[in-house]
Amino acid sequence: MLRGWIDKIEGEIAGWAFDDNNPMQSISLDIYRRGIFSKILADKPRSDLQFLGAGQINYGFYISTPPTVRSDEIVFGRYIDEYIIQSSTARQSHLVNCVYHPIIIENIDKRSIIYSGASTTTDLDLLERICQAAARAEKKSADEYGPLWGMIVASRHAEFVRILEAGGGQKLGDYLSELGRQPLAFGFFEGPDAHTAAESSILFRNAAATAIFDRILSLAEALGCIYVENPEQGGWGQVIDADPDDLIDRIAEALRISNLQPPIGGFWGLPTRFGAVNKRMLDALYAASRISTIHKTFNLDGVTEIGGGAGFAAHYSLIMGVAPYKIIDLPTMGAVQAYTLRNHKGLKLYGEELRDARIELAPTFDFAASPNRKYDLLFNMDSLPEIETNAAIAYLNDARKNGYRYLLSINQESGANVDQWSQSKVKSLVQRAGGYTLINRHRDWMRPGYVEELYAISPI
């Protein structure tokens, strides 16, 4: 295992590194800064490394840097397929921007993530239903993907589509049993790239664990399980020593959920008494808590979610008593959601006949085509900005026509460009659609850079 650090990048790049499996052999590093910057042998004496106890101290390296290198730039070294990064605040600059509790980064080397393992099913009838529903939906959906999702489906969903078209069976079950590590999981469990990084890099695992711990703290604060620290009044930074198991127990009690684990596998998460806990699970738990609160406060009928990801928000909402619940999504994602929600009673896949369904999965074109008789709340998280603008506005217009009363949105407003196509902002979308009145707007409790908005919908 590679051990080391980059200590300095101003004036020179300096650090140390060695292979823990062969500490007496100096190693050659590729130093990256906007591509490969230099190759260096880590064989210089560093008297300050005596604490390592590895048998020698000749692990240092020094490289003169051009004047264009800033002290806050991200520079890292690579040895075979392992990495070292720079120390101090600069080495964690990206992570600092992605957490609400930057103080916990001081503890980054004390936490790691574990692999969840597989989550299998022997229900071949369910797998056959999933294939049949996907085939029915796919006939009408190919022209509705839009620029971003069209690219994702063509590249990352191709293998899954072939399995569905072949009739599924046990091969489909095997694929879905470790869903988190599949290319299809890009966007909700990061897929094979993150899986490979987690297997090979302790630095990745430490950083991922820290980000998950930040989410646990944020969810506990949002639910009132712990108090929010105030840097102006003192007592700042005590959360660094919080026990994840204790926090998860408090969260489960507040939400009245006895099992936080989603019924899928193949993902990495922070180890707790409930098993591996992943960021997406925590985001979905928060979303479900907001759905449940709004559902009860306004005495609403069911919920329709546009773009349901792996179906986690639906899964937790149903456990919290929110029903009926409907998800509108692409055929491939509907297949994933069917697998995630397979243990819930009253599951209706597209094209099936089932009265009084508690959870219904349908393709995107079904939203406008089906009259709404029992859904009051329209919910979206992580996808309205990524939907082609005219299609997103059409969803909002159809929601008014079909009698939806409220819209809950948890989305980012970056307006990022994807292949010369700019993502939308929900605030702009509802203004263009018309008939939406903002009730409240605030920063998302869970993720820096995300916004939660609740709108009242005027009927047409």
pLDDT of residue 92: 45
Phi/psi of residue 146, nearest 5 degrees = 80, 170
According to DSSP, the residues that pair with 14 across neighbouring strands are 8, 62
User: Smallest Cα–Cα separation from 404: which of 434, 379, 378?
Assistant: 378
Rounded to an integer, the average pLDDT of 35-54 is: 74
Q: What is the 3-state secondary structure (H, E, C) of 64-133?
A: ECCCCCCCCCCCEEEECCEEEEECHHHHCHHHHHCCCCHHHHHHHHHCCCEECCCCCCCCHHHHHHHHHH
Query: How remote is the C-alpha of 394 from its chain's centroid?
Result: 26
How many whole angstroms separate alpha carbon 219 and alpha carbon 242?
13
pLDDT of residue 108: 76
How many whole angstroms separate alpha carbon 337 and alpha carbon 317?
14
pLDDT of residue 14: 84
At residue 326 the predicted structure's pLDDT band, cuts being 50, 70 and 90, is very high
How many whole angstroms separate alpha carbon 84 and alpha carbon 17?
8
| CB-count exposure of residue 341 (10 Å: 0-12, 13-18, 19+) | buried
H/E stretch holding 12 reads strand 12-19
pLDDT of residue 408: 98
Length of the chain: 460
Q: What is the pTM assigned to this prediction? A: 0.80
Q: Lowest mean pLDDT of 144-153, 195-204, 268-277, 335-344, name the range.
A: 144-153
Question: What letter represents residue 199's amino acid?
Answer: E
pLDDT of residue 67: 58
pLDDT one-digit tens code per residue, 64-81: 776 566 655 667 788 887
Share of the chain above pLDDT 70, in %: 87
Rounded to an integer, the average pLDDT of 181-203 is: 82
| Cβ(383)–Cβ(409) below 8 Å | no
How many whole angstroms separate alpha carbon 286 and alpha carbon 446?
8
How many whole angstroms separate alpha carbon 405 and alpha carbon 187?
29
Rounded to an integer, the average pLDDT of 184-192 is: 80
Rounded to an integer, the average pLDDT of 139-149 is: 56
The structure tokens listed for 99 are: 């957490």
Check whether 142 has a pLDDT greater than 60.
no
Sign, CA dihedral 237-241-245-249, equals negative
Higher pLDDT, 211 or 65: 211
Query: How remote is the C-alpha of 300 from its chain's centroid?
Result: 28
Which of 190-199, 271-280, 299-308 is the most confident on average? 299-308
At residue 89 the predicted structure's pLDDT band, cuts being 50, 70 and 90, is very low
At residue 300 the predicted structure's pLDDT band, cuts being 50, 70 and 90, is very high
Check whether 6 has a pLDDT greater than 70.
yes
